[in-house]
């Protein structure tokens, strides 16, 4: 007994066909027809399908055209904060989440603000009497751009350089933030990471039916402010300045707040709010709004900083900043103006070097010393607080008693 062999190709025996009984609802051919015709000669299922153009099939798989949702009402409350009033973002979790992703591509503008002040006195006339009034004298008030701190990526195709978008993340549980509450609070530190995702907080915000609610996105640029503060303070003091200094790092476009569209927010976030300031109605309305408003401020967009940006900035611009401070500059200084000051310093240094080579360095040194003393930058320094019992010739207007 051996293995059964299949029938030969030219054999007259019928092929073996499994006979599955069709369901009662199946109206198929008769048994005599199926028995007389071979199974291989029946038309296949693919032959019965209608023909389609290949291009039609490709286009049929494409999704319908769509565009990202763009809210239209955006009110800038200040250079730091803006408010988006939109009802759709406050009722659709996915639309809110996708718009947060869009806002992460909106790059903020980090700045450096240097302020130097001292106490001064001036003579005023009140009721036909001369009186001495204390006031604050501004020695310098400089705003510089730190936009170059942001990390960039070059497009290999076009060669254009783009700032890297921000990375969205949820703040840590130990940070005091608004989490759908009126007051800032911390989560119970059961884990180093917040168990809620960004979508979870979006859903929590959308699910709230209160008329006054806010969802804020905070953009941060985590450069080393301690390093810059220390070196800038030393740089300012090296000019022999004796006044009070204030070094801050504001970020334009730092906070974007999303609120629903209704009459209350229309008054609260537009120019109508100044009516309440003038009429002092804010003394009544603002406490009520504070009690009604629920806030979410748990999502940050972190923008990368180029490695070593702080050291490069101080090495390149420290002499320019010192010149601006000694020149008692006030206002915003653009990059072009800083380049101009840098070129002027380079020309002065070159002229002095050539003068020293010709033996003229002593005269230049005497001229520079006289100018420094005349500007109040001698051994006694400049920008010190004045006293009300004497005149020291400082800026701001003083009187002699």
Bridge partners of 138? Answer: 117
Segment 170-199 mean pLDDT: 84
pLDDT at 267 over 50: yes
Structure tokens at 151: 């990390």
pTM of the model: 0.72
φ, ψ for residue 213 (rounded to 5)? Answer: -145, 150
Average pLDDT, rounded, for the chain: 79
Tens of pLDDT, residue by residue over 28-79, are 444 444 444 444 454 554 455 555 454 444 444 444 554 566 776 777 777 8
User: pLDDT at position 312, please?
Assistant: 96
What is the C-alpha radius of gyration for the chain, rounded to an integer number of angstroms?
Answer: 38
Q: Which residues contact 236 (CB under 8 A, 6 or more apart)?
A: 114, 116, 245, 322, 325
Top-confidence residue, 317 or 66: 317
Q: How far apart are CA 167 and CA 219, in angstroms?
A: 9
Rounded percentage of the chain residues whose pLDDT exceeds 90: 46
CB 7 within 8 A of CB 13: yes
pLDDT at 113 over 80: yes
Tens of pLDDT, residue by residue over 201-246, are 999 999 999 989 999 999 999 999 999 999 999 999 999 999 999 9
User: pLDDT at position 124, please?
Assistant: 81
DSSP string covering 266-334: HHHSSTTHHHHHHHTTHHHHHHHHHHH-EEEEEEEEEPPB-TTHHHHHHHHHHHHHHHHHHTT-EEE--
pLDDT at 394 over 60: no
């Amino acid at each position: 007994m051996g293995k059964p062999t299949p029938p030969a190709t030219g054999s007259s025996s019928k092929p073996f066909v499994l006979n599955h009984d069709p369901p009662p609802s199946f109206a198929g051919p008769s048994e005599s027809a199926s028995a007389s015709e071979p199974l291989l000669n029946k038309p296949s299922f693919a032959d019965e399908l209608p023909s389609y153009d290949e291009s039609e099939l490709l286009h049929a798989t494409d999704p319908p055209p769509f565009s990202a949702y763009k809210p239209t009402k955006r009110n800038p409350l200040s250079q730091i904060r803006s408010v988006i009033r939109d009802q759709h973002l406050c009722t659709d979790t996915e639309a809110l989440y996708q718009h947060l992703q869009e806002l992460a591509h909106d790059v903020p503008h980090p700045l450096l603000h240097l302020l130097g002040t001292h106490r001064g006195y001036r003579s005023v006339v009140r009721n036909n009497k001369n009186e001495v009034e204390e006031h604050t004298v501004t020695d310098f008030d400089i705003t510089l751009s730190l936009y170059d701190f942001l990390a960039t990526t070059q497009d290999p195709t076009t060669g254009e350089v783009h700032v890297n978008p921000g990375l969205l993340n949820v703040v840590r549980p130990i940070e005091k933030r608004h989490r759908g509450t009126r007051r800032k609070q911390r989560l119970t530190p059961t884990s180093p990471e917040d168990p809620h995702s960004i979508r979870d907080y979006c859903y929590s915000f959308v699910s709230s039916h209160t008329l006054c609610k806010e969802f804020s996105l905070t953009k941060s640029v985590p450069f080393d402010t301690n390093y810059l503060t220390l070196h800038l303070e030393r740089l300012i003091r090296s000019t022999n300045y004796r006044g009070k200094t204030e070094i801050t790092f504001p970020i334009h476009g730092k906070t974007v707040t999303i609120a629903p569209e209704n009459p209350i927010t229309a008054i609260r976030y537009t120019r109508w709010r100044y009516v309440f300031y003038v009429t002092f109605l804010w003394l009544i309305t603002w406490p009520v709004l504070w009690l009604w408003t629920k806030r979410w401020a748990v999502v940050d967009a972190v923008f990368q900083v180029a490695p070593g940006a702080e050291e490069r900035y101080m090495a390149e611009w420290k002499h320019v900043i010192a010149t601006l401070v000694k020149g008692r500059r006030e206002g915003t200084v653009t990059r072009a103006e800083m380049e101009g000051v840098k070129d002027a310093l380079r020309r002065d240094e070159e002229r002095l070097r050539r003068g020293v080579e010709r033996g003229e360095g002593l005269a230049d040194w005497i001229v520079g010393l006289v100018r420094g003393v005349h500007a109040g930058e001698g051994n006694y320094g400049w920008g010190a607080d004045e006293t009300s019992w004497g005149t020291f010739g400082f800026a701001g207007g003083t009187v002699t008693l």
